[in-house]
A and B are shown apart, each in its own frame.
Chain A
Amino acid sequence: MNAALLPHPLFAGFGGAIEFVFSKQESSVTGGKKVGGFEQVLELAWTQIEVSLLAILLACLIAIPVGLYFGHRGKGELVAVGIGNAGRAIPELAAIALVATVIGVGIPVLVLVLALLGIPPILTNTFVGVRQVDRASVDAARGVGMTELQIVRKVETPLSVPSIMTGIRGATVNIVATATIAPLAGVLTLGDFILGENVYGADGVLAGAIVVAILALLFEFALAGLQRRLTSKGLQLQQAQ
């Protein structure tokens, strides 16, 4: 594909970027070493997917049980909702920059920071989801002799799946976006193309942006699909009405 194939002059700038993704380009600062190309794009994309997935998983493992526990007990509303609100205000760039300059660089540290950014939305939405479960359903479950653990597992969790998934999707958007600036913390993700204009050139910057956008949308679609699969049929019917 080349620039001539793209019809409008407005989009002419994208031609070089698409070329950058598929074939290696000369770079002025790497001493003749070529940059870009499918291999490098895949390598950086994989790192970004890896750290994002690890961070989402870690955030879920911490936030969902805590949210379920406090939601079930009906305690700590101010804290649970407050954490979500406060978490939203944390500037991702400052968080990454601070960790990189104070604690250090590398994948484990990065995953930890990304997970911390993901915890607030998941925790808050899990808590709110459980609190919104009809009390009559919980009482009915208790009436048929379910233990508290069974109520959480078989009644409250399935009924709060839509809310929990909203939290996970919000967290994922944030985590994938922040993983893009991970090169500042020494982990080379697709953001390296975006932040390294003097190495990769304007085409590389644009190519990075295109691939990051596609990657973020893949995450979003995958989670939307997962949400549909995890939501019980009865709940889907109820929502459709």
Chain B
Amino acid sequence: MNSGLLGMPLAAVGEVGEGFFKHRTGATLPCQARPAHLFCWDWATEHINRFGTPALQQFELVVISVLIGFAIAFILALIAHRFKPLQFPLLAGTGVLFAIPSIAFFMLLLPITGRGRETAIIALSAYTLQIIYRNVMQGLNNVPDSAKDAARGMGLTERQILWKVELPLAIPEIVGGIRIATVSTVAIATLAVFANAGGLGSQIYSSSNLVFPTAIIIAGAIAILMAFAIDLVLLTAQRFATPWRRAASEAVP
């Protein structure tokens, strides 16, 4: 395939790179410019480096947003657990934040925080609240009364019951909530490009234009892999945090 332009031997052309001929002998355009070409391996291997920084930016956005979201949702859930009448209003309030499309949320923040990372992080954290809040509440509500009664019988105070009995027993649901929140946030953080916050979206959409399929596929694939990788880490963490469950599943009946 390297016979060169018009049969000219490669050596005769000196400084022009090999890619020049590769693109122009087979077809008139480089493969990334031909729309019919779904995936362009040459381009992918040459340009894989450009996805590093956006991937890192996306990872940071997700981790920071989920951490902030978790901190707020966890506190809200503890408040609602203590003052039951607040359960529904808090569920509805976080539900409103969840329902607002992130891209609209970014733009609503523009007059207040402008474009940038902060804007993206605020909107993404607001999005995670409902998911985490609902799961923490569910976890706390699912703790069997017998466990709480036993703790009370042993002389634990209400605060000790919360931290030593209820919350540990709710770990599976809590981690479940964080996992769902993280995976969806990785997907949605791709939209952060519209808030000028970088991320993998910048390799999908740039300056009012969609880029070409190869870059879109690579960016999308990195986002999906990132979601699965974080999910796996959280799942492993959950198994280590709840040794009694492992013991129960390994026990011989």
Report Cα–Cα, A208/B219, bound state, in Å.
27
Nearest 6 pairs of A and B residues by beta carbon: A13-B111, A94-B220, A177-B101, A209-B107, A89-B227, A212-B104
Chain A interface: which of B11-19, B163-171, B179-187?
A: B179-187
**Cβ-based interface call for A2 (8 A):** no
**Cβ-based interface call for A184 (8 A):** yes
Q: A91 and B224: CB pair below 8 A?
A: yes
Q: A180 and B103: CB pair below 8 A?
A: yes
Q: B220 and A98: CB pair below 8 A?
A: yes
Per-residue CB contact flags for chain A residues 155-188 toward chain B (1 = under 8 Å, else 0) read 0000000000000000001001100110010000
**Cβ-based interface call for B241 (8 A):** no
Which residues on the B side are within 8 Å of A53 (C-beta)?
none
Which residues on the B side are within 8 Å of A212 (C-beta)?
100-101, 103-104
A176-214: which residues lie under 8 A (CB-CB) from chain B? 176-177, 180-181, 184, 191, 194-195, 198, 202, 205-206, 208-210, 212-213
Q: A206 and B191: CB pair below 8 A?
A: no
Q: B98 and A89: CB pair below 8 A?
A: no
Report Cα–Cα, A216/B218, bound state, in Å.
30
Q: A10-B112, A101-B210, A206-B110 are in contact. Are A176 and B217 (CB under 8 A)?
A: no
In the complex, which residue of chain A has the Cβ closest to the Cβ of B99? Answer: A220
Which residues on the A side are within 8 Å of B204 (C-beta)?
93-94, 97
Q: B213 and A94: CB pair below 8 A?
A: no
Q: A102 and B38: CB pair below 8 A?
A: yes
Q: B217 and A91: CB pair below 8 A?
A: no
**Cβ-based interface call for A95 (8 A):** yes
Q: What's the least CB distance linking A230 to chain B, in Å? A: 18
Among B101, B111, B211, B213, the residue within 8 A (CB) of A180 is B101
Which residues on the B side are within 8 Å of A191 (C-beta)?
103
Q: A90-B187, A91-B190 are in contact. Are A14 and B216 (CB under 8 A)?
A: no
Report Cα–Cα, A191/B208, bound state, in Å.
13
Residues of B within 8 A of A (CB-CB), count: 46
Which residues on the A side are within 8 Å of B101 (C-beta)?
173, 176-177, 180, 212-213, 216
Report Cα–Cα, A206/B111, bound state, in Å.
8
Q: A173 and B104: CB pair below 8 A?
A: no
Report Cα–Cα, A213/B103, bound state, in Å.
9
**Cβ-based interface call for B71 (8 A):** no
- Interface range, A side: 35 or more
Among A13, A92, A101, the residue within 8 A (CB) of B188 is A92
Interface of B is mostly: helix
Most A Cβ at <10 Å: residue of B35, B104, B106, B216: B104
Q: B220 and A91: CB pair below 8 A?
A: yes
In the complex, which residue of chain B has the Cβ closest to the Cβ of A95? Answer: B220
In the complex, which residue of chain A has the Cβ closest to the Cβ of B103? Answer: A180
Report Cα–Cα, A89/B189, bound state, in Å.
11
**Cβ-based interface call for A100 (8 A):** yes
| Supplied contacts A101-B212, A209-B103, A209-B108, 10 more A-B pairs, CB within 8 Å | A11-B111, A88-B183, A92-B187, A92-B188, A101-B35, A173-B98, A176-B101, A184-B210, A191-B103, A205-B107
**Cβ-based interface call for A140 (8 A):** no
Q: B111 and A12: CB pair below 8 A?
A: yes
Report Cα–Cα, A210/B211, bound state, in Å.
28
**Cβ-based interface call for A235 (8 A):** no
Q: What's the least CB distance linking A4 to chain B, in Å? A: 16
**Cβ-based interface call for A149 (8 A):** no
Which residues on the A side are within 8 Å of B95 (C-beta)?
220
B183-238: which residues lie under 8 A (CB-CB) from chain A? 183-184, 186-188, 190-191, 193-194, 200-201, 204-205, 208, 210-213, 216-217, 219-220, 223-224, 227-228, 231
Report Cα–Cα, A231/B241, bound state, in Å.
37
Among B102, B108, B186, B224, the residue within 8 A (CB) of A177 is B102
Q: What's the least CB distance linking B216 to chain A, in Å? A: 5
Q: A94 and B194: CB pair below 8 A?
A: no
Q: A213 and B205: CB pair below 8 A?
A: no
**Cβ-based interface call for B96 (8 A):** yes
Which residues on the A side are within 8 Å of B21 (C-beta)?
none
**Cβ-based interface call for A219 (8 A):** yes
